[in-house]
Protein backbone atom coordinates (compact mmCIF):
# COMPACT_ATOMS: atom_id res chain seq x y z
CA UNK A 1 0.00 0.00 0.00
CA UNK A 2 1.36 3.41 -0.98
CA UNK A 3 0.72 6.90 0.30
CA UNK A 4 1.22 10.36 -1.19
CA UNK A 5 3.23 13.11 0.48
CA UNK A 6 1.82 16.38 -0.86
CA UNK A 7 3.64 19.69 -0.47
CA UNK A 8 1.81 22.97 -1.16
CA UNK A 9 2.20 24.08 -4.79
CA UNK A 10 3.52 27.63 -5.03
CA UNK A 11 3.52 28.11 -8.81
CA UNK A 12 0.80 28.79 -11.36
CA UNK A 13 -0.79 26.48 -13.91
CA UNK A 14 -0.30 27.57 -17.50
CA UNK A 15 -0.61 25.51 -20.65
CA UNK A 16 -2.56 22.73 -22.33
CA UNK A 17 -3.26 19.14 -21.38
CA UNK A 18 -5.27 16.34 -22.99
CA UNK A 19 -8.16 15.22 -20.83
CA UNK A 20 -7.94 11.60 -19.62
CA UNK A 21 -10.32 9.32 -21.52
CA UNK A 22 -13.88 8.75 -20.38
CA UNK A 23 -14.31 5.73 -18.11
CA UNK A 24 -18.12 5.59 -18.39
CA UNK A 25 -18.03 5.62 -22.19
CA UNK A 26 -15.20 3.07 -22.29
CA UNK A 27 -17.25 0.56 -20.30
CA UNK A 28 -20.23 1.02 -22.61
CA UNK A 29 -18.25 0.88 -25.84
CA UNK A 30 -16.64 -2.41 -24.73
CA UNK A 31 -19.95 -4.01 -23.75
CA UNK A 32 -21.67 -2.84 -26.94
CA UNK A 33 -18.73 -4.20 -28.93
CA UNK A 34 -19.26 -7.58 -27.25
CA UNK A 35 -22.96 -7.47 -28.20
CA UNK A 36 -22.27 -6.55 -31.85
CA UNK A 37 -21.56 -8.78 -34.82
CA UNK A 38 -18.20 -8.06 -36.39
CA UNK A 39 -15.23 -5.92 -35.39
CA UNK A 40 -15.64 -2.90 -33.14
CA UNK A 41 -12.82 -0.32 -33.06
CA UNK A 42 -12.59 1.89 -29.97
CA UNK A 43 -10.14 4.80 -29.85
CA UNK A 44 -9.66 6.90 -26.75
CA UNK A 45 -10.28 3.91 -24.47
CA UNK A 46 -9.62 4.37 -20.74
CA UNK A 47 -7.14 1.74 -19.59
CA UNK A 48 -8.03 2.28 -15.94
CA UNK A 49 -8.46 -0.64 -13.59
CA UNK A 50 -12.28 -0.56 -13.76
CA UNK A 51 -12.36 -0.75 -17.56
CA UNK A 52 -9.78 -3.53 -17.61
CA UNK A 53 -12.19 -5.52 -15.41
CA UNK A 54 -14.88 -5.03 -18.06
CA UNK A 55 -12.56 -6.31 -20.80
CA UNK A 56 -11.72 -9.35 -18.70
CA UNK A 57 -15.42 -10.14 -18.23
CA UNK A 58 -16.33 -9.93 -21.91
CA UNK A 59 -13.36 -12.13 -22.82
CA UNK A 60 -14.87 -14.80 -20.56
CA UNK A 61 -18.03 -14.68 -22.71
CA UNK A 62 -16.07 -15.85 -25.76
CA UNK A 63 -15.37 -12.37 -27.14
CA UNK A 64 -12.02 -11.64 -28.78
CA UNK A 65 -10.37 -8.52 -27.31
CA UNK A 66 -7.14 -6.91 -28.55
CA UNK A 67 -5.69 -3.98 -26.61
CA UNK A 68 -3.22 -1.32 -27.71
CA UNK A 69 -2.63 0.79 -24.57
CA UNK A 70 0.10 2.95 -26.09
CA UNK A 71 -2.34 4.06 -28.79
CA UNK A 72 -5.37 4.14 -26.50
CA UNK A 73 -7.16 1.63 -28.73
CA UNK A 74 -9.17 -1.56 -28.30
CA UNK A 75 -10.43 -3.90 -31.03
CA UNK A 76 -13.29 -6.28 -30.17
CA UNK A 77 -14.46 -9.17 -32.37
CA UNK A 78 -17.73 -10.87 -31.51
CA UNK A 79 -20.45 -13.00 -33.03
CA UNK A 80 -23.07 -10.77 -31.40
CA UNK A 81 -25.93 -11.17 -28.96
CA UNK A 82 -26.65 -14.84 -29.47
CA UNK A 83 -23.03 -15.95 -29.78
CA UNK A 84 -22.07 -15.05 -26.21
CA UNK A 85 -21.38 -18.15 -24.15
CA UNK A 86 -21.76 -19.19 -20.56
CA UNK A 87 -18.52 -18.31 -18.71
CA UNK A 88 -16.44 -21.20 -17.40
CA UNK A 89 -15.51 -19.44 -14.17
CA UNK A 90 -16.69 -16.75 -11.77
CA UNK A 91 -16.37 -13.26 -13.29
CA UNK A 92 -14.50 -10.72 -11.17
CA UNK A 93 -15.60 -7.10 -11.59
CA UNK A 94 -12.82 -5.98 -9.19
CA UNK A 95 -13.86 -2.54 -7.82
CA UNK A 96 -16.24 -1.66 -10.65
CA UNK A 97 -19.92 -1.18 -9.84
CA UNK A 98 -20.51 -0.37 -13.50
CA UNK A 99 -19.02 -3.69 -14.60
CA UNK A 100 -20.98 -5.89 -12.20
CA UNK A 101 -24.34 -4.19 -12.78
CA UNK A 102 -23.98 -4.03 -16.57
CA UNK A 103 -22.89 -7.68 -16.60
CA UNK A 104 -25.98 -8.63 -14.59
CA UNK A 105 -28.13 -7.22 -17.39
CA UNK A 106 -26.11 -8.86 -20.14
CA UNK A 107 -25.93 -12.25 -18.39
CA UNK A 108 -29.74 -12.20 -18.26
CA UNK A 109 -29.79 -12.93 -21.98
CA UNK A 110 -27.02 -15.54 -22.09
CA UNK A 111 -28.07 -19.17 -21.72
CA UNK A 112 -26.47 -20.74 -18.69
CA UNK A 113 -25.08 -19.71 -15.32
CA UNK A 114 -23.08 -16.55 -14.68
CA UNK A 115 -21.61 -15.75 -11.26
CA UNK A 116 -20.33 -12.21 -10.59
CA UNK A 117 -18.15 -11.03 -7.73
CA UNK A 118 -15.71 -8.24 -6.94
CA UNK A 119 -13.26 -6.96 -4.38
CA UNK A 120 -14.07 -6.39 -0.71
CA UNK A 121 -15.42 -2.90 -1.40
CA UNK A 122 -17.66 -3.98 -4.28
CA UNK A 123 -19.04 -6.87 -2.23
CA UNK A 124 -20.51 -4.29 0.16
CA UNK A 125 -22.33 -2.26 -2.51
CA UNK A 126 -26.13 -2.51 -2.97
CA UNK A 127 -27.39 -4.88 -5.67
CA UNK A 128 -31.07 -5.30 -4.86
CA UNK A 129 -31.83 -2.26 -7.03
CA UNK A 130 -30.75 -4.23 -10.11
CA UNK A 131 -31.83 -7.69 -8.95
CA UNK A 132 -35.50 -6.84 -8.36
CA UNK A 133 -36.29 -5.26 -11.76
CA UNK A 134 -34.46 -8.03 -13.62
CA UNK A 135 -36.41 -10.61 -11.64
CA UNK A 136 -39.65 -8.92 -12.75
CA UNK A 137 -38.47 -9.48 -16.32
CA UNK A 138 -38.37 -13.21 -15.69
CA UNK A 139 -34.65 -13.43 -14.96
CA UNK A 140 -33.48 -15.97 -12.39
CA UNK A 141 -31.08 -13.87 -10.34
CA UNK A 142 -30.01 -13.53 -6.72
CA UNK A 143 -27.28 -12.31 -4.43
CA UNK A 144 -25.71 -12.63 -1.02
CA UNK A 145 -27.34 -11.28 2.12
CA UNK A 146 -30.91 -11.60 0.95
CA UNK A 147 -30.14 -10.19 -2.50
CA UNK A 148 -28.41 -7.14 -1.05
CA UNK A 149 -24.81 -7.75 -2.06
CA UNK A 150 -22.47 -9.60 -4.46
CA UNK A 151 -21.63 -12.28 -5.35
CA UNK A 152 -24.54 -12.47 -7.77
CA UNK A 153 -25.79 -15.43 -9.76
CA UNK A 154 -27.77 -15.17 -12.99
CA UNK A 155 -29.24 -18.17 -14.79
CA UNK A 156 -30.03 -16.89 -18.27
CA UNK A 157 -32.60 -18.45 -20.59
CA UNK A 158 -31.64 -16.79 -23.86
CA UNK A 159 -34.55 -14.33 -23.71
CA UNK A 160 -36.11 -11.80 -21.34
CA UNK A 161 -39.77 -10.98 -20.79
CA UNK A 162 -40.93 -7.49 -21.82
CA UNK A 163 -41.03 -5.21 -18.78
CA UNK A 164 -42.11 -1.79 -17.54
CA UNK A 165 -39.98 -0.42 -14.73
CA UNK A 166 -39.98 2.88 -12.84
CA UNK A 167 -36.52 3.68 -11.44
CA UNK A 168 -36.77 4.31 -7.70
CA UNK A 169 -33.23 5.73 -7.54
CA UNK A 170 -31.79 7.80 -10.43
CA UNK A 171 -29.07 5.34 -11.46
CA UNK A 172 -27.47 5.12 -14.89
CA UNK A 173 -26.02 1.74 -13.91
CA UNK A 174 -29.41 0.19 -13.15
CA UNK A 175 -30.98 1.82 -16.20
CA UNK A 176 -28.20 0.50 -18.43
CA UNK A 177 -28.42 -3.01 -16.99
CA UNK A 178 -32.11 -3.05 -17.90
CA UNK A 179 -31.46 -1.65 -21.38
CA UNK A 180 -28.89 -4.34 -22.04
CA UNK A 181 -31.21 -7.08 -20.78
CA UNK A 182 -34.01 -5.74 -23.00
CA UNK A 183 -31.88 -6.47 -26.09
CA UNK A 184 -32.89 -10.12 -25.63
CA UNK A 185 -36.51 -9.18 -24.97
CA UNK A 186 -39.51 -11.03 -26.33
CA UNK A 187 -41.12 -7.66 -27.01
CA UNK A 188 -40.91 -3.93 -26.31
CA UNK A 189 -39.81 -2.76 -22.82
CA UNK A 190 -40.05 0.62 -21.09
CA UNK A 191 -38.08 2.33 -18.35
CA UNK A 192 -39.40 5.43 -16.57
CA UNK A 193 -36.79 7.80 -15.18
CA UNK A 194 -38.30 10.38 -12.78
CA UNK A 195 -34.96 12.24 -12.55
CA UNK A 196 -32.42 12.24 -15.40
CA UNK A 197 -29.15 10.35 -15.05
CA UNK A 198 -26.30 10.07 -17.53
CA UNK A 199 -27.64 8.89 -20.89
CA UNK A 200 -24.50 7.50 -22.53
CA UNK A 201 -26.01 4.03 -22.99
CA UNK A 202 -29.06 5.41 -24.80
CA UNK A 203 -26.87 7.52 -27.11
CA UNK A 204 -24.57 4.63 -27.95
CA UNK A 205 -27.32 2.08 -28.49
CA UNK A 206 -29.11 4.47 -30.87
CA UNK A 207 -25.80 5.02 -32.67
CA UNK A 208 -25.45 1.28 -33.40
CA UNK A 209 -29.03 1.06 -34.66
CA UNK A 210 -31.00 -0.24 -31.67
CA UNK A 211 -34.65 0.98 -31.82
CA UNK A 212 -34.72 3.20 -28.75
CA UNK A 213 -36.94 6.21 -28.11
CA UNK A 214 -37.10 8.64 -25.20
CA UNK A 215 -39.97 10.98 -24.42
CA UNK A 216 -40.16 13.01 -21.20
CA UNK A 217 -38.29 10.47 -19.11
CA UNK A 218 -39.93 7.38 -20.63
CA UNK A 219 -37.45 5.19 -22.50
CA UNK A 220 -38.83 2.59 -24.92
CA UNK A 221 -36.55 -0.07 -26.37
CA UNK A 222 -37.28 -2.84 -28.88
CA UNK A 223 -35.08 -5.93 -29.23
CA UNK A 224 -33.01 -5.46 -32.40
CA UNK A 225 -32.40 -9.13 -33.26
CA UNK A 226 -28.81 -8.27 -34.06
CA UNK A 227 -26.39 -5.33 -33.79
CA UNK A 228 -23.76 -4.51 -36.41
CA UNK A 229 -20.31 -3.51 -35.18
CA UNK A 230 -19.33 0.17 -35.28
CA UNK A 231 -16.39 2.36 -34.32
CA UNK A 232 -16.18 4.72 -31.36
CA UNK A 233 -13.85 7.69 -30.83
CA UNK A 234 -14.29 8.50 -27.14
CA UNK A 235 -13.90 11.96 -25.59
CA UNK A 236 -12.24 12.79 -22.29
CA UNK A 237 -13.74 12.25 -18.85
CA UNK A 238 -15.19 15.35 -17.22
CA UNK A 239 -15.12 13.57 -13.84
CA UNK A 240 -11.32 13.32 -14.12
CA UNK A 241 -10.96 16.77 -15.68
CA UNK A 242 -12.69 18.18 -12.59
CA UNK A 243 -9.53 17.62 -10.51
CA UNK A 244 -7.43 19.64 -12.95
CA UNK A 245 -10.12 22.31 -13.16
CA UNK A 246 -10.09 22.65 -9.37
CA UNK A 247 -6.39 23.46 -9.41
CA UNK A 248 -6.73 26.09 -12.13
CA UNK A 249 -9.74 27.70 -10.44
CA UNK A 250 -8.05 27.96 -7.04
CA UNK A 251 -4.43 28.82 -7.90
CA UNK A 252 -3.92 32.57 -8.57
CA UNK A 253 -2.66 33.45 -12.04
CA UNK A 254 -3.60 30.11 -13.57
CA UNK A 255 -5.00 29.50 -17.05
CA UNK A 256 -5.34 25.90 -18.22
CA UNK A 257 -6.74 24.50 -21.47
CA UNK A 258 -8.06 20.94 -21.05
CA UNK A 259 -8.53 19.38 -24.48
CA UNK A 260 -11.32 17.09 -25.70
CA UNK A 261 -13.60 16.87 -22.66
CA UNK A 262 -16.94 15.06 -22.83
CA UNK A 263 -19.75 17.59 -22.38
CA UNK A 264 -22.85 15.42 -22.29
CA UNK A 265 -25.58 17.55 -20.61
CA UNK A 266 -26.37 14.70 -18.20
CA UNK A 267 -22.76 14.89 -16.97
CA UNK A 268 -22.39 18.70 -16.95
CA UNK A 269 -23.89 19.46 -13.54
CA UNK A 270 -20.39 20.22 -12.24
CA UNK A 271 -19.94 22.97 -14.84
CA UNK A 272 -23.30 24.53 -14.03
CA UNK A 273 -22.42 24.48 -10.35
CA UNK A 274 -19.10 26.23 -11.06
CA UNK A 275 -20.95 28.94 -12.98
CA UNK A 276 -23.02 29.74 -9.90
CA UNK A 277 -19.83 29.87 -7.83
CA UNK A 278 -18.23 32.41 -10.17
CA UNK A 279 -15.90 29.91 -11.81
CA UNK A 280 -14.39 31.30 -15.01
CA UNK A 281 -14.26 28.83 -17.87
CA UNK A 282 -15.04 28.75 -21.58
CA UNK A 283 -15.89 25.86 -23.89
CA UNK A 284 -14.06 25.99 -27.21
CA UNK A 285 -14.56 23.91 -30.36
CA UNK A 286 -17.83 22.32 -29.26
CA UNK A 287 -18.73 19.30 -31.43
CA UNK A 288 -20.67 16.03 -31.28
CA UNK A 289 -19.89 12.35 -32.04
CA UNK A 290 -22.30 9.39 -31.69
CA UNK A 291 -24.69 11.70 -29.84
CA UNK A 292 -22.07 12.82 -27.31
CA UNK A 293 -21.01 16.48 -27.04
CA UNK A 294 -17.34 17.27 -26.56
CA UNK A 295 -15.03 20.27 -26.59
CA UNK A 296 -12.03 21.98 -25.01
CA UNK A 297 -12.37 23.79 -21.67
CA UNK A 298 -10.29 26.87 -20.84
CA UNK A 299 -10.25 27.38 -17.06
CA UNK A 300 -8.91 30.45 -15.25
CA UNK A 301 -8.34 31.36 -11.63
CA UNK A 302 -11.54 32.68 -10.08
CA UNK A 303 -12.81 34.30 -6.90
CA UNK A 304 -15.36 31.71 -5.85
CA UNK A 305 -18.52 32.07 -3.80
CA UNK A 306 -20.62 29.43 -2.07
CA UNK A 307 -23.63 27.73 -3.63
CA UNK A 308 -26.38 25.25 -2.83
CA UNK A 309 -26.52 21.89 -4.62
CA UNK A 310 -30.09 20.60 -4.76
CA UNK A 311 -31.21 16.93 -4.83
CA UNK A 312 -32.30 17.04 -8.47
CA UNK A 313 -28.76 18.07 -9.48
CA UNK A 314 -26.99 15.20 -7.74
CA UNK A 315 -27.33 12.59 -10.55
CA UNK A 316 -25.70 15.10 -12.94
CA UNK A 317 -22.55 15.56 -10.79
CA UNK A 318 -22.53 12.52 -8.52
CA UNK A 319 -18.86 11.68 -9.20
CA UNK A 320 -17.68 15.27 -8.77
CA UNK A 321 -19.05 15.85 -5.26
CA UNK A 322 -15.73 15.00 -3.51
CA UNK A 323 -13.69 17.54 -5.49
CA UNK A 324 -16.58 20.03 -5.42
CA UNK A 325 -16.40 19.87 -1.61
CA UNK A 326 -12.70 20.78 -1.77
CA UNK A 327 -13.50 23.72 -4.07
CA UNK A 328 -16.33 24.80 -1.74
CA UNK A 329 -13.89 24.96 1.15
CA UNK A 330 -11.96 27.64 -0.81
CA UNK A 331 -15.12 29.61 -1.69
CA UNK A 332 -16.56 32.53 0.27
CA UNK A 333 -19.69 31.60 2.22
CA UNK A 334 -21.55 28.44 3.15
CA UNK A 335 -22.08 25.71 0.56
CA UNK A 336 -24.88 23.23 1.23
CA UNK A 337 -25.05 19.89 -0.63
CA UNK A 338 -28.35 18.00 -0.28
CA UNK A 339 -29.88 14.82 -1.67
CA UNK A 340 -26.51 13.06 -1.95
CA UNK A 341 -27.23 10.02 0.25
CA UNK A 342 -26.26 7.79 -2.71
CA UNK A 343 -22.65 8.72 -1.91
CA UNK A 344 -22.86 6.59 1.23
CA UNK A 345 -22.93 3.40 -0.86
CA UNK A 346 -20.12 4.13 -3.31
CA UNK A 347 -16.57 2.75 -3.06
CA UNK A 348 -16.62 4.24 0.43
CA UNK A 349 -19.12 6.23 2.46
CA UNK A 350 -18.06 9.32 0.58
CA UNK A 351 -19.99 11.81 2.71
CA UNK A 352 -18.23 10.51 5.83
CA UNK A 353 -14.86 10.33 4.06
CA UNK A 354 -15.12 13.88 2.70
CA UNK A 355 -16.26 15.35 6.02
CA UNK A 356 -13.62 13.55 8.05
CA UNK A 357 -10.84 14.48 5.63
CA UNK A 358 -11.80 18.14 5.41
CA UNK A 359 -12.13 18.38 9.19
CA UNK A 360 -8.62 16.98 9.60
CA UNK A 361 -7.37 19.80 7.35
CA UNK A 362 -9.07 22.45 9.46
CA UNK A 363 -12.23 23.02 7.42
CA UNK A 364 -15.50 23.94 9.11
CA UNK A 365 -17.70 21.18 7.65
CA UNK A 366 -20.86 19.52 8.88
CA UNK A 367 -22.10 16.12 7.77
CA UNK A 368 -25.83 15.63 7.09
CA UNK A 369 -27.55 12.33 6.41
CA UNK A 370 -27.89 13.34 2.75
CA UNK A 371 -25.08 15.81 2.27
CA UNK A 372 -22.59 18.34 3.60
CA UNK A 373 -22.43 21.91 4.92
CA UNK A 374 -19.08 23.54 4.13
CA UNK A 375 -18.11 26.99 5.42
CA UNK A 376 -15.34 28.82 3.60
CA UNK A 377 -12.99 30.18 2.68
CA UNK A 378 -10.52 28.05 4.57
CA UNK A 379 -6.74 27.72 4.47
CA UNK A 380 -6.02 23.98 4.46
CA UNK A 381 -3.63 23.06 7.24
CA UNK A 382 -1.39 20.01 7.21
CA UNK A 383 -2.26 16.54 8.38
CA UNK A 384 -2.90 12.95 7.41
CA UNK A 385 -6.02 12.04 5.43
CA UNK A 386 -7.45 8.56 4.82
CA UNK A 387 -8.62 7.71 1.29
CA UNK A 388 -10.62 4.67 2.51
CA UNK A 389 -9.40 2.96 -0.68
CA UNK A 390 -11.60 5.29 -2.76
CA UNK A 391 -10.02 6.78 -5.87
CA UNK A 392 -12.07 9.99 -5.91
CA UNK A 393 -11.43 10.65 -2.22
CA UNK A 394 -7.68 10.08 -2.68
CA UNK A 395 -7.40 12.47 -5.63
CA UNK A 396 -9.58 15.12 -4.00
CA UNK A 397 -7.32 15.32 -0.97
CA UNK A 398 -4.16 15.32 -3.06
CA UNK A 399 -5.62 18.42 -4.75
CA UNK A 400 -6.45 19.87 -1.31
CA UNK A 401 -2.85 19.31 -0.26
CA UNK A 402 -1.55 21.17 -3.30
CA UNK A 403 -3.85 24.08 -2.41
CA UNK A 404 -2.90 24.03 1.28
CA UNK A 405 -0.53 25.83 3.62
CA UNK A 406 1.27 22.80 5.06
CA UNK A 407 2.25 19.30 4.03
CA UNK A 408 -0.50 16.68 3.70
CA UNK A 409 -0.19 12.88 3.66
CA UNK A 410 -2.92 10.95 1.82
CA UNK A 411 -2.97 7.29 2.80
CA UNK A 412 -3.64 4.43 0.34
CA UNK A 413 -3.38 6.04 -3.09
CA UNK A 414 -3.01 2.87 -5.16
CA UNK A 415 -6.77 3.18 -5.73
CA UNK A 416 -6.18 6.15 -8.07
CA UNK A 417 -5.62 3.61 -10.87
CA UNK A 418 -9.30 2.63 -10.62
CA UNK A 419 -10.28 5.66 -12.74
CA UNK A 420 -7.28 7.89 -13.52
CA UNK A 421 -4.03 5.92 -13.89
CA UNK A 422 -2.18 8.90 -15.40
CA UNK A 423 -3.13 11.26 -12.54
CA UNK A 424 0.36 11.66 -11.08
CA UNK A 425 1.93 11.82 -14.55
CA UNK A 426 -0.50 14.55 -15.57
CA UNK A 427 0.33 16.57 -12.46
CA UNK A 428 3.97 16.34 -13.52
CA UNK A 429 3.12 17.53 -17.03
CA UNK A 430 1.59 20.63 -15.45
CA UNK A 431 4.85 21.37 -13.65
CA UNK A 432 3.72 20.07 -10.25
CA UNK A 433 6.65 18.22 -8.68
CA UNK A 434 5.48 18.45 -5.07
CA UNK A 435 3.68 15.09 -4.85
CA UNK A 436 5.75 12.06 -3.84
CA UNK A 437 4.27 8.57 -3.79
CA UNK A 438 5.98 6.17 -1.41
CA UNK A 439 5.42 2.88 0.36
CA UNK A 440 3.48 3.34 3.59
CA UNK A 441 5.61 2.89 6.66
Instruction: Name the residues annotated as catalytic.
Output: 319
Rounded distance between C-alpha atoms, residue 90 and residue 230, angstroms: 29
Number of CB atoms found within 10 A of residue 216's CB: 6
- C-alpha of 218 from chain center: 23
Amino acid sequence: MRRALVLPFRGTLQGTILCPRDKSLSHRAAFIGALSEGETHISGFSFCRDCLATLSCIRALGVEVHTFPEEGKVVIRSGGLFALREPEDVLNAENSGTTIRFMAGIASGIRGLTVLTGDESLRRRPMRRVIEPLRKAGVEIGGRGGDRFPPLFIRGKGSVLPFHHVLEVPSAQVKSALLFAALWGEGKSTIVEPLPSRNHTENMLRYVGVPLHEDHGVITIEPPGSISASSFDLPGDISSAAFLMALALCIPGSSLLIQDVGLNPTRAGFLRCLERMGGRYRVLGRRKTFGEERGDILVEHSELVATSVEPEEIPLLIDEIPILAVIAAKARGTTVISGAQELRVKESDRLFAIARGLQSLGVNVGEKEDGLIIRGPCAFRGGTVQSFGDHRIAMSFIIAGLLGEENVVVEDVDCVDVSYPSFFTDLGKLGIQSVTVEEAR
